[in-house]
Chain A
């Protein structure tokens, strides 16, 4: 499968998962949208199978906290929201990846999804040197990004 075939389905499942699971509604990123310099949460998951690869999700910190609050049924300022922001982003990526793999390869194909790893950093979106295909969306004008790549993940 060529890299260019990854983005469309990945964008669609991301919109679906974020709205269904976390009540986060994505819009298409408007052309000429400004880059984002922000505290970011980044989650990456790898998958093995006939076609191995990796998917990365990058969200601004405040969107990660909003996701955690919505998943937990809590208010954004509640004590455990920030503590669960990383776990929330990892779990959302897990959900997105399961759906994306099914869309890309079909449920009859064999693959094995790894565990998400989550980190936090000051960073810039769009990523300056992506290793895969980028999908950029907006949640309340905040830029979020997914990056998908096929090939060896070692």
Chain B
């Protein structure tokens, strides 16, 4: 057990009947860090979070929180707070009683618990709503109450289970910042589950990508963006998603031939095995339409202008998407010249999907 680690998971496995939903999970979360668990639905991220909370029993492996093995501790003894996707507020209690529930359970007098509630309500802007019932609150306000209920306890860790997915888009962006600044203010350790990679990228110190019950990669958001370990992470992180094209490394190993109907060659940053079949990954934002040089010619099939940038889809097989900042500068839609710098061309093994 190393110093400063708040949550440590060793060789965790979880079975639901015949289903092996978490496979050999190893994860250590330093104190004060904001960790996002991200992956497509069914990847096991929520199960992992619920295992940390103790709401799911783990089948094998060890889990410790603040240095104490918690494998067999029930949720109520783990001293962990969780914010649920549905908020799970107590509908028969007003905001004040919702906030003070954990304190009153611990035996704190109602009067002093209410003083704590007032403090917490002030930090998260709920002071006016203490006497309201959950049904009288908007989605964003309920979200705040759920947060308040978590922070009033000063727990060993905060767990978030897709807390923003029931909010509308603009509120979601706002709450993202608020949760993160709250985390910094409290110096808390947070584990945040989301299927939205943008949430993970913008909020977390560490992003853990899960797929089919396994940790595929973990690292800082930009590490994942810059050097994905495999095709799955490359495709999952970044929006719009990375383009993948079948390719064959040329005989000198310095370039790759993209297997479009009309084959095109682009150069690579280093030497690869000649003749190898690969998946070539290129992010839409790395296909430059206004560069002085060019190594790709395509015809544009469709375009969407958002004002700040323009999204294109090329008439290729598979369809290549790319972005231009600002308004469209294309004159001839049939002949568009693109350039992708060699350092932005990712190669993945065609069979294993691993980055080369």
Partners in one complex: no
Spell out B's residues near A (CB within 8 Å): none
Chain A residues close to B by CB (< 8 Å): none
